[in-house]
Each structure stands twice: as structure tokens, then as C-alpha cells.
Homo-oligomer: A and B are copies of this chain.
Amino acid sequence: MLSKACEYCIKAVVFLAQRSKEGKLSIVKEIAQAIDSPEAFTAKVLQQLVKGGFISSVKGVKGGFFIEEKTLQHLNLLQIVTAIDGRGLIDNCMLGLNQCSEVNPCPVHHLYKGIKADIVQLLNCSLVNDLTIEFSQKLSVLKN
């Protein structure tokens, strides 16, 4: 469904959002511990998020990653997923046809299209800010 890189990104962003609301920067080490991910690989995917403009970073002593308040307001999971994994989840046929289409559907197209729409809606309606609130209240976890 999602790549490891994408999973780490989503979890990192939820964690970062919480920390940013507390006015704190977080270094890779803290993030990797918080989401139970390999540190070096996490650093890589965080770079991608910075390039995509989803998170911000500060180099050097007292540096780290954070999310701008303004960005956080409208940041949702669909943005992150498409930035990291591309549009495959949204566009691809479940059985790998070159084109997912209504006119030349694969055998599961009509059953799958509703599910695909639900997935896109889940991602699109999941505001990172909302997920962070739940996480802050310990109603969800980022590792186990």
C-alpha cells in the first residue's frame, strides 16, 4: 500500500507537528526514536519532505526540523503520499492494466473504484493537524 519511506514520512510529520506546536525543533535522532525508524534512512526521507516544502529545517547547532504553523493548517496525508510515492495509489489499476478506465475495466474495476475513492478521501481528509491532536491525547501511537 504505502512504501516504508512514506510510512516514515507520515509518522515523522505527525510527531513533528506536535513538537512544532510546542515550539520545539526536533533532530533526526529524536524523530527516528519517536517513530521507531532507521535514523539514516529517516534523514533521507525528511530531506524529501523539506524539498517538497512540507517541513522546514535549520542546520547547525540548535538546528533540526519543524513545521511552519501556516503549513500545518492545510497539510494533509494525500500531499505527503503523492510527494513520496507518486500517484500510483490514486491512478493505477488494481490488476496492473496500463490504464484504469471505465470503458476498458479490469475484472475488479467496478468493485475497486469505490475503495480507491475511499482511500483517496481518507488521505485527503486526514489533516496532519487533526491527527496530531489525537496523538497528543495519547489516543494513537507512532510505534509499539
Chain A residues near B (Cβ < 8 Å): 1-2, 4, 7, 10-11, 14, 77, 89, 92, 94-99, 104-109, 111-112, 114-115, 118-119, 122, 126, 131, 134-135, 139-144
| A108 B95 Cβ-Cβ under 8 A | no
Contacts of A109 in B (CB 8 A): 140
Contacts of A114 in B (CB 8 A): 118
Contact of A126 among B108, B134, B141 (CB under 8 A): B108
A sample of 24 cross-chain residue pairs with beta-carbon separation below 8 angstroms, ordered by A number, consists of A1-B89, A1-B92, A1-B94, A7-B94, A7-B95, A7-B96, A11-B106, A97-B141, A97-B144, A104-B141, A105-B141, A106-B140, A106-B142, A107-B131, A107-B134, A107-B142, A108-B122, A108-B126, A112-B122, A114-B118, A115-B115, A115-B118, A115-B119, A118-B118
